[in-house]
């Protein structure tokens, strides 16, 4: 099978099918060796690791993957992992004086890394509200635990993160949710290094197909809600609601219209300076 493919992903419920496929030997049975690397720092951590050669591919937020390709030209998107859009919770510390969405304008925003979704989506959100994105203030906190500390110690005011992963913190009275932001493109795509795509595209295609098959089976299994609830500490009703709305993708066709929406939004916010002429600027067809 050759050298293992090092594929990164956040340690969240979206990626549990990858962990299960590794544990069951499904990748090996299909003739590909996968080392699934959990990356709590999110998309910014993973795109940097791709550029530095520490990962071969990663399951990253679409907006971060598009920005990475247009700004650095080292990686390419090659598959959709989660086709449904991500719903971002907008959080403050429970005791924060911020009570309404409008109160967070100009406040300090905790981000895992520059280029991560927790950085880019607040810009998307601010632009949609007509706020000045040039006046935004960001505080790098590395991961979810870092955000918890930053909000509790008043080093940051606001934090954007996937709403179901933060629901236990809201339920416990640590975070308070001011609102949500849903983005109009697939939540997660696979991005891979260009040199890996030139040498190991077939292995990547096989790995993604195995994971997509595992995801379909995962969603159908009666034991899945309880497994997610136990693994991630999310209440069973919240898991059931999430499973009813999440859609893992199949195949490797580029979502051309969604990629245009994402790249146009990034261009409008000044995150990137180039609008791709065609999906081929962003996408490698496996």
Domain boundaries, the chain: 5-85+185-281, 87-182
Residue (of 258, 219, 217, 209) closest to 242 by Cα position: 219
Q: Distance between CA 67 and CA 42 in Å, rounded?
A: 14
- Asked if 285 contacts 251 with a C-beta cutoff of 8 angstroms, the reply is no
Helix ranges restricted to H, 153-193: 163-171
Mean pLDDT of 164-176: 95
- Asked if 275 contacts 266 with a C-beta cutoff of 8 angstroms, the reply is no
In the predicted model, is pLDDT for residue 84 greater than 80? yes
Considering only the top CATH level, what class is 87-182? alpha beta
Considering only the top CATH level, what class is 5-85+185-281? alpha beta
H or E segment and range at residue 204: helix 194-220
- Asked if 49 contacts 8 with a C-beta cutoff of 8 angstroms, the reply is yes
Residues present in the chain in total: 286
pLDDT band at 279 (very low <50, low <70, confident <90, very high): confident
C-alpha dihedral over 88, 271, 102, 93, to 10 degrees? 50
In the predicted model, is pLDDT for residue 88 greater than 80? yes
* Extended beta strands in the chain, E state: 5-9, 34-38, 57-61, 75-82, 87-93, 108-111, 137-140, 158-162, 175-182, 188-193
pLDDT tens by residue, 235-271: 999 999 999 999 999 988 999 999 998 998 888 778 8
In the predicted model, is pLDDT for residue 188 greater than 90? yes
What are the tokens at 108? Answer: 């300090």
Per-residue pLDDT, 1: 61
Per-residue pLDDT, 277: 66
Q: Distance between CA 156 and CA 125 in Å, rounded?
A: 17
- The two domains 5-85+185-281 and 87-182 share their CATH topology (first three levels equal): yes
In the predicted model, is pLDDT for residue 61 greater than 80? yes
């Amino acid at each position: 099978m050759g050298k293992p493919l090092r594929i990164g992903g956040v340690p969240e419920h979206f990626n549990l099918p990858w962990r299960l496929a590794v544990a069951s030997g499904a990748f090996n049975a299909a003739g590909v060796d996968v080392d699934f690397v959990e990356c709590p720092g999110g998309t910014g951590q993973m795109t940097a690791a791709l550029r530095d050669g520490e990962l071969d591919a990663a399951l990253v937020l679409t907006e971060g993957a598009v920005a990475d390709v247009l700004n650095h030209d080292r990686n390419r998107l090659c598959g959709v992992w989660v086709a449904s859009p991500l719903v971002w919770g907008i959080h403050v510390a429970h005791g924060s004086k911020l009570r309404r969405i409008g109160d967070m304008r100009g406040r300090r925003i905790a981000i895992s890394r520059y280029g991560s979704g927790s950085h880019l989506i607040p810009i998307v959100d601010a632009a949609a509200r007509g706020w000045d994105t040039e006046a935004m203030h960001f505080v790098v906190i590395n991961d979810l635990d870092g955000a918890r500390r930053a909000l509790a110690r008043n080093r940051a005011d606001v934090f954007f993160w996937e709403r179901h992963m933060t629901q236990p913190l809201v339920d416990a009275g640590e975070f308070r949710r001011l609102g949500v932001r849903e983005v109009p493109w697939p939540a997660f795509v696979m991005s891979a290094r260009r040199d890996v795509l030139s040498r190991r595209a077939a292995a990547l295609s096989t790995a993604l197909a195995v994971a997509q098959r595992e995801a379909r089976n995962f969603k159908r299994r009666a034991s899945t809600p309880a497994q997610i609830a136990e693994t991630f500490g999310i209440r069973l009703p919240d898991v059931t609601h999430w499973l009813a709305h999440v859609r893992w993708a199949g195949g490797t066709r580029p979502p051309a219209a969604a990629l245009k929406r994402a790249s146009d939004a990034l261009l409008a916010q000044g995150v990137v300076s180039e609008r791709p002429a065609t999906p081929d600027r962003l996408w490698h067809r496996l």
